[in-house]
Amino acid sequence: MVVRTKGARCRNRAIFIRKFPKNKKENMAASTTSSFPTSQEGVATSSQQNLDAITDDDFEYVDEEFVLSHSAEQQAQPEPMIPDLFKQPSLVKDDLITATSQLQDQTVEHCLPFLAGEDGPLDLNDYGLPKLNREKHIKFLKQSLGPLPGRFVAVDASRPWYLYWCLSGLTMMGEDVSSYRDSVIETARTMQNESGGFGGGHGQTSHLATTYAVILAIALVGGEEAYDVIDKKAMWKWLCSLKQPDGGFQVCVGGEEDIRGAYIAAVIITLLDLPLDLTPESPAYDGRSNLLTGLAEYVRSCQTFEGGISSQPNNEAHGAYAFCALACLAILDNPRRIIPSYLDVPRLVSWLSYRQYAPEGGFSGRTNKLVDGCYSHWAGGCFPLIEACLSPSGPGAEKNKTATGLAAAPESLYSREGLIRYILCCCQDQTKRGGLRDKPYKMSDPYHTNYVLSGLSSAQHQWDLDSDPLPLPNGDTTPSLAALGADSVWNVFPYIDENDQIYEDSDRVRPIHPAYAIPQKNVNAIRAYFQGRSGFASTLGGE
């Protein structure tokens, strides 16, 4: 005879259910269990007499099932199952020992105890994984928005990034960041140059990367006063000065031209509703071209023989550049049309798939490199865009539903379970510091905190396109500004896999747009504001 708690999985047949007395629960459980006969004659007489002597007031509502079994020992509660894939080193080993292979082996050794749940007492969810330590991570990000130690002078030019990383991470964890609006406004004003764009700090040269971070930070805090900080006319002129004849963009005047510039330019043009016409001073001006001319072709030129995307043509493929390429194309046109038109999707999927490792479950950024938490976004965040481009289409397409009424989980191109395991087990700083990190032996920082949470958000949600591509007028290959993304209606659903669920609802973070990397409502709000304005009124420029 075996006793098990109600709700535990068991294939044996229950023969009755009984309530234990609250003041004698332990003693009665022991006595009744030990005195049960192995035959099916019933309960021992002495046990029956003891139970009959108990009144209704002695009972506590703790139901126990008594079930038949061939063993007289009490069964322990089953521990959550961890697939072997995430508990042991890869069975396929390269016999050639190099510095790279040794670092890989060391990384696996560091990660395995965390993946196996051996890293000390932690607050685990019902699936045996550490819970998302939301309170610690929120505290870490809020502290990072305050005064920083003197050593941070080394990253002074990254101040806009700190704004975006912290505000974005807080937003994904459900925090209202509008209280930071005034601080963002005052900080952004000092970084904006009259020539257009934002630098890393007061008096620093405008750069597309820092401009991207400032604009997204402004979008996150929202509000007309924040939007009005941006000098739209100067921004347009500055972007025209960065546009190159081959279709790409320099990241700053006289700087390098790379895929980051292509993506960021697409983000800025669409969020701020900038005119597409080029100024006569633009290096790309020929009387026919505009800001978008040749941009998709430039993205195509950056795909490598491996299938990944490089920063520039003929460079090494990198996960972050793959995201920039896919997101840029998804902004320019409907992903179902534009991504297969300009990229070799099968080779790209192959290259991205090889970026996810086992047993770690996380992503690397390049071939033969180590997993890093930030690639949860840069590489993992590519899959929603690819899956959208490959998914069935059509307005009003029926969605499969689970028993909960939510969208059923389609077959993913990557292991969401593996990525979530790596994030919850290996990327959380479980000390008082909080925050998220690259890997177990690294320190947490705002950069990794934001992009690890972005990867977690992507793995926990399903983004679908709800429309087919609209035909472009007059055989054009470049959509007009009004048509940019006009037929790309994105819908997001919680990703539900009822067979392989490994996290609780309390571990879920908020979704962010797969191309803009901020929530959809923030994208809509800033676009609507600038689309509703006429002319170039701004804080620095006139009409």
Does 324 qualify as catalytic in the annotation? no
Residue of 164, 375, 447, 451 marked catalytic? 375
Structure tokens at 342: 């300009």
Assess contact for 112 and 422: CB atoms under 8 A. no
Residue of 110, 369, 442, 508 marked catalytic? 369
Q: What's the rounded Cα separation, in Å, for the pair 76 and 70?
A: 15
Residue of 377, 448, 513, 527 marked catalytic? 448
Residue of 24, 142, 181, 366 marked catalytic? 366
Q: How would you write 240-267 as a 3-class SS string?
A: HHHECCCCCEECCCCCCECHHHHHHHHH
Q: How would you write 40-95 as a 3-class SS string?
A: CCCCCHHHHHHHHCCCHHHEEEEEEEEECCCCCCCCCCCCCCCCHHHCCCCCCCCC
Does 231 qualify as catalytic in the annotation? no
Q: What is the dihedral of CA 216, 138, 182, 518, to 10 degrees?
A: 20
Structure tokens at 164: 């975006």
Assess contact for 21 and 28: CB atoms under 8 A. yes
Does 9 qualify as catalytic in the annotation? no
Does 207 qualify as catalytic in the annotation? no
For residue 165, give the H/E element and its range: helix 159-172
Assess contact for 90 and 84: CB atoms under 8 A. no
Residue 151 to residues 199, 343, 437, Cα–Cα distance (Å): 20, 43, 19
In the block, tokens 């924040």 appear at 226
Does 441 qualify as catalytic in the annotation? no
Residue of 159, 243, 318, 437 marked catalytic? 318
Those residues whose C-beta lies under 8 Å from the C-beta of residue 97, and which sit 6 or more positions away, are none
Residue of 231, 258, 438, 507 marked catalytic? 438
Nearest one of 496, 446, 421 to 124, comparing CA atoms: 421
Residue of 258, 273, 372, 487 marked catalytic? 372
Q: Residue 405 burial (CB < 10 Å; 0-12/13-18/19+)?
A: exposed
Assess contact for 58 and 23: CB atoms under 8 A. yes
Nearest one of 231, 239, 232, 343 to 292, comparing CA atoms: 239
Residue of 445, 464, 487, 507 marked catalytic? 445
Q: Give the residue ranges of DSSP H helices in 192-318.
A: 208-221, 224-227, 232-242, 259-271, 295-301
Q: What's the rounded Cα separation, in Å, for the pair 408 and 402?
A: 5
Does 464 qualify as catalytic in the annotation? no
Structure tokens at 136: 């610690």
Residue of 328, 374, 382, 426 marked catalytic? 374
Question: How does 472-510 read in b/e, with b if 16+ C-beta sit within 10 Å?
Answer: eeeeeebbebebbbebbebebeebbeeeeebbeeebbbe
Does 369 qualify as catalytic in the annotation? yes
Q: How would you write 359-391 as a 3-class SS string?
A: CCCCEECCCCCCECCCHHHHCCCHHHHHHHHHC
Residues carrying an active site annotation: 318, 366, 369, 372, 374-375, 438, 445, 448
